[in-house]
Amino acid sequence: MLELLINPIIVSVILLCILCLCRVNVLLALIVSAIVAGKIAGLHAGQIMDLFINGMGQNSETALSYILLGTFAAAMAHTGLADVLAKRIALLIKNNKFILLLILTLLACASQNLIPVHIAFIPVIIPPLLSVMNKLKLDRRAVACALAFGLVTPYIVLPAGFGLIFQRLLADNMSLNGMTINVTDVWKSVWFLGAGLLAGLLFAVFISYRKPREYENIEIKKERRRSLRFTGSHYITLLAAIATLAVQLWTKSLPLGALIGLTIIFGTRAINPEKMDILINEGIGLMGYVAFVMLVAAGFAGVLKATGGIDVLVNSLIPFMLGSKLVAAFLMLIVGLFITIGIGTSFGTIPILAVLFVPIFLHLGFNPMEAIIVFAAAAALGDAGSPASGTTLGPTAGLDADGQHNHIQDTCIPTFLHYNIPLILFALLAVIIF
């Protein structure tokens, strides 16, 4: 037990969570926690920072994807397409908050796969709709849960967009650690987790946050008057979005897809090329912080792996598993939750968990489907609910535009409860059924 209490992984992640809850900037919290983990493991400061910086490179593609997709989202907003969509949504809902929640959920799902802009659409689409939400007395915690569902479920379940990145990372890292898995094996298994997440969404919308909630009507900014009609630039922007998806599916590269989309928008002069610098700056403003958090999280993960605390943690847990796959799955899910909520990204967690879990899967005789479901659930656990996650940072960025939505109380806690609990339950159920 003492080994667990002084384990650098345990200590650093607990410290990270405490610092984040105390509203210390997540970047500083990650760096401080990495240094503490390294010092506990006996590393000197120079070694720790070298490991940290080298580890950041592991998420460089994801960070570049965020920046370019953020720029693409900014370009879409500049054409006025987002304004038109927001106004069309306002007309479609017909004073029905559930229709609004459905539309926002579908938009969030599309942002992961169909038009892979991730959370970049939220600060563009949501603020103009806040007055509509206020009129409907819609609890913004329900909106946060709807957006979180759309941000989490597609990357777990669907092998396209960010889902392709997640599933490929999962398959590759399991294979590297001794359990050969194909990407096709992943999406054939993880649909089961999607059912659990859907149950969490329905519970949040129709039970937890169904009651009306009052908000003040606070003016955010003067809206530009735009026609509701689609123009040539809007159609070109939609074409660019389709091209972005097609290139991404063909080349398996999100950055290249975003670059092609931007080329179409500027090449056809849907937006004047002279505004390119402005839009890139806007894109960095939208997604740059989240991208850098991902880089720093990868650096943190690199230090954790180098401490040697992972092996000790696994060896300490094995006696508690009692030779039972169900008990082992529960303990692995808790470990996954613990690490992911600290790091804030499921993508950065996968390499760490693979080193921990694959030996256990092989030792206890998990079949591939069981292993994939438990691994995917463990990696995704904590994404919804982590203060440092794009899944929580994104909804807050839009819903708090008027200063009436608390990041921890109104986004992190609701999404944590409604998605992490179903993921745990359905992963354990998979071990029993499959």
Whether the predicted pLDDT of 81 surpasses 60: yes
Whether the predicted pLDDT of 211 surpasses 90: yes
- Helix extents (H) in 22-127: 26-40, 45-56, 60-78, 81-92, 97-110, 122-125
| 395 contacts 143 by C-beta, under 8 angstroms | yes
Whether the predicted pLDDT of 223 surpasses 70: no
Lowest-confidence region among 112-116, 160-164, 256-260, 362-366: 112-116
Whether the predicted pLDDT of 102 surpasses 70: yes
| 193 contacts 426 by C-beta, under 8 angstroms | yes
Whether the predicted pLDDT of 172 surpasses 70: yes
- 27 CA to centre of own chain: 17
Pull the structure tokens for residue 337: 């939750």
Give the DSSP H/E element, type plus range, for residue 193: helix 191-203
Which tens digits make up the pLDDT trace of 2-61? 667 788 888 887 887 788 767 787 788 889 999 999 999 999 999 999 999 998 876 677
As a whole number, mean pLDDT of residues 281-307 equals: 79
Could you give the CA distance from residue 384 to residue 336 in angstroms, rounded to a whole number? 13
Average pLDDT, the chain: 84
Whether the predicted pLDDT of 249 surpasses 60: yes
Site of tokens 């995704």: 380
* Residue of 302 and 342 predicted with greater confidence: 302
What pLDDT score does 278 carry?
84
Tell me what percent of the residues of the chain surpass a pLDDT of 90.
34
**Could you tell me the CA-to-CA distances from 145 to 155, 200, 246, 403 in Å, in that order?**
16, 9, 29, 18
Whether the predicted pLDDT of 312 surpasses 90: no
Q: What single DSSP character describes residue 222?
A: P
Task: Name, in order, each residue with C-beta under 8 angstroms of 273's C-beta and a sequence gap of 6 or more.
Answer: 266
Whether the predicted pLDDT of 277 surpasses 90: no
Where does residue 198 rank: exposed (0-12), middle (13-18), buried (19+ CB within 10 A)? middle
Q: Provide DSSP, 255-307.
A: HHHHHHHHHHHHHTTSS-GGGHHHHHHHHHHHHHHHHHHHHHHHHHHHHHHHT
What pLDDT score does 83 carry?
67
Pull the structure tokens for residue 156: 């777990």
What pLDDT score does 159 carry?
83
What pLDDT score does 279 carry?
82
How large is the angle between the packed helices 45-56 and 276-306, nearest 10 degrees? 130
As a whole number, mean pLDDT of residues 264-278 equals: 85
Where does residue 212 rank: exposed (0-12), middle (13-18), buried (19+ CB within 10 A)? exposed
Site of tokens 């529960």: 330
* Residue of 229 and 331 predicted with greater confidence: 331
Which tens digits make up the pLDDT trace of 363-377? 889 999 999 999 999
* Residue of 179 and 95 predicted with greater confidence: 179
Where does residue 259 rank: exposed (0-12), middle (13-18), buried (19+ CB within 10 A)? middle
* Residue of 205 and 127 predicted with greater confidence: 205
Could you give the CA distance from residue 190 to residue 258 in angstroms, rounded to a whole number? 27
What pLDDT score does 343 carry?
61
What pLDDT score does 366 carry?
94
Which tens digits make up the pLDDT trace of 330-348? 989 988 887 777 666 677 6
